[in-house]
Structure 1
């Protein structure tokens, strides 16, 4: 019985994880395709998730429900992290008036926990709750630099997709950037995830020296000079790290 329940749970989780950061509604056929489940099984489990308020159903298919948002808000450690981080993110935004991110490493991706941008924010693929590969963003590269050797080997040894003409896809060049990030305490992106976007990021310090949390500020090539915001982003990251240390909350709680 327990084995059967674990299987049903795994299928339900697979359906929920089938939604990407850009997906608003997915039809049943697409859910079945992404999960590899038979359409009848996907339909049965999706309807069960609707009854439990984890999915909503509309004429075009299924979408994630507000019930998931409510559960997320009950994750006390993550809620405390965001409450502590927000003053530093807001202060960084006021200093720069550019887009500010808080991100955490999850495997070989960075997941964006918070994003603050004004009316003139740069076009960016990032969004709260979304994810990007570590190797092509400033916040991802600084987290990759501070990750364990097994994660670095996995990223550097795997295929590096060229997302723009400026994406660093040579492992040797990326390795040198990671070494520089460790030496200087910041990492940069120059149109590597999105054309026209520049970014600088700094890690949130951790007592043991290995963090999974970082802060970045980004802007368009037309006006933004990331080198001019190094001190500001470092100060925000250091300030948040000090707050987390006082509260004894590990930077990057929940990272894999």
Structure 2
């Protein structure tokens, strides 16, 4: 069996420094991990076994990792540290009431995502008993080009990011994934015209979605808000106005806070 190399969720760290090794170990954990064995951490990080064991022991001592049956997991302290990030904390405080309102009006899964490098990182998710089986998780990452939130962010981010995404390749995730740069560009132009982006089973089979960007006073994307549902019953175009209004409202409150009004 051939083992494919893992794609890092963060920029490469300098493994010649202790800090670089620590960062590499912490970022080796994924959003859907319940625990990771030491051998798997070694595979993901590429660190020698002795070095990895020392780093893990140090992280346990400062309680950034927990030892659990079957391996290790990120500790609650890592979550607490992440919640101190001022940008995301302020964004969550403002966006959450709008997201809750969208959920009450649609009863579908509502996401909030931000741009990180060339990916979407999901920072909040609201879903009830009817929520769609989506690959997204809070803290997880997805490509920009095949998600509605990603397209909303990409459309308002300028040509440099678009060029990087194209150069990295538009990997086909389903039979409906847009892999032609020209078609993707036309979709993004449409996003700029309408203020909303759509996904129709492009990141996962059975999932459709509509998203709108949350913009700052200079029309730059701060985040994006989306509603996701199963393709069997959900029509994203029917809630586009709701999503766009929630994103606009969130952006307006953030702008007033930034200006001190």
TM range (shorter): over 0.9
The superposition leaves residues 127-180 of structure 1 with CA deviations (integer Å, 9 ceiling, x where unpaired) of 111110101100111111111321110112222111111111111111111111
Matches within 5 A, 1:200-239: 200-239=210-249
Higher relative contact order (CA 8 A, sep 6+): 1
Post-superposition offset of 1:72: 1.7
Distance of 2:169 and 2:221 partners within structure 1: 25
Matched, 1:108 2:94: no
Any conservation in 2 of the 1:157–1:171 contact (CA below 8 Å)? no
Distance of 2:196 and 2:248 partners within structure 1: 12
Structure 2 match to 1:168: 178
Matches within 5 A, 1:58-73: 58-73=68-83
The superposition leaves residues 65-90 of structure 1 with CA deviations (integer Å, 9 ceiling, x where unpaired) of 11101112222332222111110000
Distance of 1:205 and 1:59 partners within structure 2: 44
Post-superposition offset of 1:120: 0.6
TM-score by length of 1: 0.92
Distance of 2:222 and 2:119 partners within structure 1: 11
The superposition leaves residues 102-125 of structure 1 with CA deviations (integer Å, 9 ceiling, x where unpaired) of 100101100011000010101100
> When the two structures are aligned, how many residues end up with a matched partner?
246
Distance of 2:22 and 2:168 partners within structure 1: 30
Q: 1:5 and 1:120, CA in 2 relative to 1: closer, same or farther beyond 3 A? A: closer
The superposition leaves residues 166-223 of structure 1 with CA deviations (integer Å, 9 ceiling, x where unpaired) of 1111111111111111111111000001111110000012111121311000111121
Distance of 1:198 and 1:205 partners within structure 2: 23
Gaps of 5+ in 1: 250-256
Distance of 2:123 and 2:84 partners within structure 1: 15
1:189 counterpart (199, 206, 227): 199
Gaps of 5+ in 2: 1-13
Bigger mean CA deviation after superposition, 128-137 or 72-81: 72-81
Matched, 1:52 2:42: no
TM-score by length of 2: 0.91
Distance of 2:165 and 2:22 partners within structure 1: 29
Structure 2 match to 1:253: none
Any conservation in 2 of the 1:146–1:212 contact (CA below 8 Å)? no
Pairwise CA RMSD: 1.6
